């Protein structure tokens, strides 16, 4: 277990380091990073000071080390739109995004678990068909369009829920559905195939033979084992929601990290873009790492 | 029936991947509706403005916010209604098909070519080269797709070529990973070993022995990618980081129509339906091809 932990941690660190290198390289693609890092009307003295600070006269690898060293210390520069350190702003907006992603995740599981289990138990029935149609549609529509249609129906026409902003529980419902819609398809499919496999197994047949109630068989014995393949991709889907949040937060004016980064792209607030993308990446890597670790806890057979 | 007839001569086995591809391609059970929709999108993309009933960029403020023809106030002149500037929605959808087609074509060809090349190299040579390629792919996959697109858009000017570059950067790993695992098993086959013993160079082995064998997988991957590329482009354009006016794309139409959501429901509905039908069609076609050509990969 310790070896697995150390290996996973090392891999995660390498991924984050590599990602920081990619972000650094992209930020140098435009030629002069100073023009990205400072507002257009910055005075000459500020430009000169930043050039010196970034070490632009030095070789590339040295510049990367400077970037990395400052990033480790949490210094991504000042957001010139909000006049606060970029990282402070990112951490300020992050909780709203995590709240939204969690709600979306809960929504997707609430739909996928019953759908997946029932379509495996009643294979070929109408519920299986419905599951299939939802899966097909879910992967063919962009999440922002789901959001727009939800706004059109529930906010504009029916006036049940607010169209944008944050506040009470009612504000999170529509964005959570829009964000959680996409993974439903894959989750349903994974639960379904996992269930099908388990339902064929000897111990379920044995249980059935000795007269265990069907409901107990399905939900207690089969479902638990069908859960494992779902957990293995859970991290991937939670992480992909952090990425989907860029679009959905923009549609619903949700005050999270995603919208902040998108706005920063438009106001050329490069320090915020850099910090936001790197923090999203770190979250992405860490959640995958945690999922890898959790295998052993859920399935003792994998424990090493 | 006196003598048992000699077994019929075995027909020459089609050896090249392409002819095996066409021989397996049965039209029975083909998804005709999706194929028809894809054909329509292609026709719209090629025909472009010669097919549109109106100029897709023609302003006509007098005809702004006309609803679709079946609603009160709608006319058959504007079948799917008009937007805030009186531009015909149907014409703009037809014009937008071109962007979807161009982005799909370039993005798929380039990400497919780069990913396949790297996948073959990694799988065939193994060792340190494999480790490096796999590591780079892992690092790339650590950055969420849209985040990579955002940071790229912050440094480059947005537009068609930036969209294509971002999509290629995002999707090459998809090919590389799958092709690599395929090649890992192919290289252990006897005919690859024979080719090596016979003195074939690596390039010959790539093109004559490996590529034909992964051809089916490639066709399936590329078809399935169409839908993803269209969704990606729509998201980028919707955020304002993709296609820029006066060009039009379905995502951009949705971005424009968003602020008039309370007056004109058709503005956000129609382009979305175009996206949905196209993606659905390419996914269904991809599923069909996969079941037909590559039954191992049902889980893709």
Per-residue pLDDT tens over the stretch A89-103: 889 889 989 889 989
A56, A61, A62, A68 alpha-carbon torsion, rounded to 10°: 100
Reply yes or no on whether the pLDDT at B272 is more than 60: yes
At residue A298, the pLDDT reads: 66
Reply yes or no on whether the pLDDT at B108 is more than 70: yes
- Give the closest residue to A148 by CA, choosing from B258, B172, B189, B232: B258
At residue A1, the pLDDT reads: 63
Q: Is residue B46, in this structure, part of any structural domain at all? A: no
Reply yes or no on whether the pLDDT at B248 is more than 70: yes
A31, A36, A39, A45 alpha-carbon torsion, rounded to 10°: -50
Confidence band for B149, pLDDT divided at 50, 70 and 90: confident
User: A145 vs B272: CB contact, 8 Å cut-off?
Assistant: yes
User: Which CATH number does the domain housing residue B180 bear?
Assistant: 1.10.3720.10
pLDDT digits (tens, 9 = 90+) for A190-244: 888 888 888 888 888 888 888 878 787 888 778 877 777 777 777 777 777 887 8
Chain B residues touching residue A139 (CB < 8 angstroms):
227, 279, 283
Q: Is residue B261, in this structure, part of any structural domain at all? A: no
At residue B275, the pLDDT reads: 92
At residue A26, the pLDDT reads: 83
User: A247 vs B239: CB contact, 8 Å cut-off?
Assistant: yes
Chain B residues touching residue A36 (CB < 8 angstroms):
154-155
Q: Is residue B103, in this structure, part of any structural domain at all? A: yes
- Give the closest residue to B223 by CA, choosing from B173, B175, B270: B175
Q: Is residue B162, in this structure, part of any structural domain at all? A: yes
Confidence band for B3, pLDDT divided at 50, 70 and 90: very low
**Could you say which residues from 234 to 273 on chain A have a Cβ atom under 8 Å away from some Cβ of chain B?**
239-240, 242-244, 246-247, 250-251, 261-262, 264-266, 268, 270, 273
Share of chain A above pLDDT 70, in %: 93
pTM: 0.84
**Mean pLDDT over residues B74-103, rounded?**
84
Reply yes or no on whether the pLDDT at B198 is more than 50: yes
d(CA B284, CA B268): 24
Reply yes or no on whether the pLDDT at B295 is more than 80: no
Please count the structural domains in chain B: 1
Chain B residues touching residue A265 (CB < 8 angstroms):
150, 153-154, 241
At residue B168, the pLDDT reads: 92
At residue B19, the pLDDT reads: 61
At residue B115, the pLDDT reads: 93
| The token pair that represents A60 in the structure block | 């590339």
Minimal C-alpha gap between B7 and chain A (Å) = 42
At residue B12, the pLDDT reads: 44
User: A262 vs B150: CB contact, 8 Å cut-off?
Assistant: yes
More confidently predicted of B156 and B238: B238
Bridge partner residues of A79 (DSSP):
A84
B151, B155, B160, B163 alpha-carbon torsion, rounded to 10°: -20
At residue B114, the pLDDT reads: 94
More confidently predicted of A188 and B109: B109
Best interface-test mutation with B: which of A246, A275, A283 has the largest number of B CBs within 10 A? A246
> What range does the domain containing B287 cover?
97-250+270-293
**Can you give the three-state secondary structure of chain A, one letter per residue?**
CHHHHHHHHHHHHHHHHHHHHHHHHHHHHCCCHHHHHCCCCCCHHHHHHHHHHHCCCCCHHHHHHHHHHHHHCCCCCEECCCCEEHHHHHHHHHHHHHHHHHHHHHHHHHHHHHHHHHHHHCCCCHHHHHHHHHHHHHCCCCHHHHHHHHHHHHHHHCCCCCCCCCCCHHHHHHHHHHHHHHHHHHHHHHHHHHHHHHHCCHHHHHHHHCCCCHHHHHHHHHHHHHHHHHHHHHHHHHHHHHHHHHHHHHHHCCCCHHHHHHHHHHCCCHHHHHHHHHHHHHHHHHHHHHHHHHHHHHCHHHCC
Q: Is residue B255, in this structure, part of any structural domain at all? A: no
Minimal C-alpha gap between B117 and chain A (Å) = 21
- Give the closest residue to B56 by CA, choosing from B96, B92, B97: B92
d(CA A211, CA A217): 10
- Give the closest residue to B165 by CA, choosing from B179, B184, B151: B151
User: B150 vs A27: CB contact, 8 Å cut-off?
Assistant: no
Confidence band for B119, pLDDT divided at 50, 70 and 90: very high
Please check whether residue A181 touches B, CB under 8 A. Answer: no
**Mean pLDDT over residues B194-212, rounded?**
83
Match 């897709």 to its residue by tokens. B56
Q: Is residue B78, in this structure, part of any structural domain at all? A: no
At residue B1, the pLDDT reads: 41
Q: Is residue B27, in this structure, part of any structural domain at all? A: no
- Which residues of chain A have a pLDDT value below 70? 1, 30-33, 36-37, 40, 54-55, 295-304
d(CA B194, CA B287): 35
pLDDT digits (tens, 9 = 90+) for A271-291: 888 888 888 888 888 888 887
ipTM for the predicted complex: 0.83
Bridge partner residues of B82 (DSSP):
B88
Reply yes or no on whether the pLDDT at B8 is more than 60: no
More confidently predicted of B9 and B188: B188
Q: Is residue B41, in this structure, part of any structural domain at all? A: no
Chain A residues touching residue B166 (CB < 8 angstroms):
none
Please check whether residue B189 touches A, CB under 8 A. Answer: no
Residue of B nearest to A19 (CA): B139
Please check whether residue A216 touches B, CB under 8 A. Answer: no
Q: What is the mean pLDDT of chain B?
A: 82
At residue B26, the pLDDT reads: 65
């Amino acid at each position: 277990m310790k070896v697995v932990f150390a290996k996973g941690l090392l891999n995660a660190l390498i991924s984050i380091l590599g990602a920081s290198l990619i972000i650094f390289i992209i930020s140098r693609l435009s030629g002069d990073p100073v023009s990205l890092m400072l507002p257009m009307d910055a005075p000459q003295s500020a430009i000169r000071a930043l050039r010196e600070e970034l070490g632009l006269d030095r070789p590339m690898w040295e510049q990367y080390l400077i970037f990395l060293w400052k990033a480790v210390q949490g210094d991504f520069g000042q957001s010139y739109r909000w006049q606060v350190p970029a990282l402070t702003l990112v951490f300020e907006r992050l909780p709203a995004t995590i709240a939204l992603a969690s709600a979306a995740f809960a929504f997707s599981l609430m739909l996928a678990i019953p759908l997946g289990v029932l379509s495996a138990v009643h294979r070929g029935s109408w519920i299986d068909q419905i599951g299939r149609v939802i899966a097909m549609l879910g992967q063919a529509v962009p999440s922002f369009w789901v959001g727009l249609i939800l706004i059109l129906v529930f906010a504009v026409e029916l006036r049940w829920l607010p169209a944008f902003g944050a506040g009470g529980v009612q504000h999170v419902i529509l964005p959570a559905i829009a964000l959680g819609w996409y993974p439903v398809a894959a989750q349903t499919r994974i639960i379904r195939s996992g269930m099908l496999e388990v339902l064929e197994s000897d111990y379920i047949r044995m249980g059935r033979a000795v007269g265990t109630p069907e409901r107990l068989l399905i939900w207690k014995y089969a479902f638990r084992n069908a859960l494992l393949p779902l957990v293995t991709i859970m991290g991937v889907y939670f992480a992909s929601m952090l990425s989907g949040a860029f679009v959905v937060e923009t549609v619903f004016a949700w005050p999270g990290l995603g919208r902040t980064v998108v706005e920063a792209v438009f106001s050329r607030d490069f320090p915020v873009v850099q910090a936001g993308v790197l923090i999203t990446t770190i979250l992405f890597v860490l959640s995958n790492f945690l999922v890898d670790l959790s295998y052993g806890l859920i399935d003792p057979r994998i424990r090493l | 029936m006196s003598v048992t007839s000699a077994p019929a001569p075995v027909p020459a086995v089609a050896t090249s991947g392409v002819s095996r591809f066409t021989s397996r391609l049965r039209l029975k059970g083909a998804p005709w509706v999706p194929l028809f929709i894809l054909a329509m999108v292609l026709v719209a993309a090629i025909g472009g403005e010669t097919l549109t009933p109106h100029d897709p960029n023609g302003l006509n403020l007098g005809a702004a916010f006309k609803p679709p023809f079946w609603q009160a106030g709608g006319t058959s002149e504007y079948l799917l209604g008009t937007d805030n500037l009186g531009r015909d929605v149907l014409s703009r959808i037809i014009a937008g098909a071109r962007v979807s087609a161009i982005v799909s074509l370039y993005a798929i060809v380039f990400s497919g070519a780069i990913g396949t090349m790297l996948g073959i190299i990694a799988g065939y040579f193994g060792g340190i080269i494999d480790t490096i390629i796999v590591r780079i792919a892992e690092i790339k996959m650590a950055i969420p797709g849209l985040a990579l697109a955002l940071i790229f858009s912050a440094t480059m000017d947005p537009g068609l070529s930036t969209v294509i570059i971002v999509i290629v950067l995002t999707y090459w790993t998809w090919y590389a990973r799958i092709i690599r695992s395929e090649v890992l098993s192919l290289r252990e086959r006897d005919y690859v070993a024979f080719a090596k013993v016979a003195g074939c160079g690596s390039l010959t082995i790539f093109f004559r022995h490996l590529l034909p064998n992964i051809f089916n997988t490639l066709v399936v991957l590329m078809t399935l990618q169409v839908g993803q590329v269209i969704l990606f482009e729509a998201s980028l354009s919707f955020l304002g980081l993709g296609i820029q006016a006066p060009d039009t794309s379905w995502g951009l139409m949705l971005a424009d129509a968003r602020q008039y959501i309370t007056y004109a429901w058709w503005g956000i509905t129609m382009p979305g339906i175009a996206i949905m039908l196209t993606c659905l069609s390419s996914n269904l076609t991809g599923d069909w091809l996969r079941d037909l050509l590559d039954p191992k990969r049902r889980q893709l």
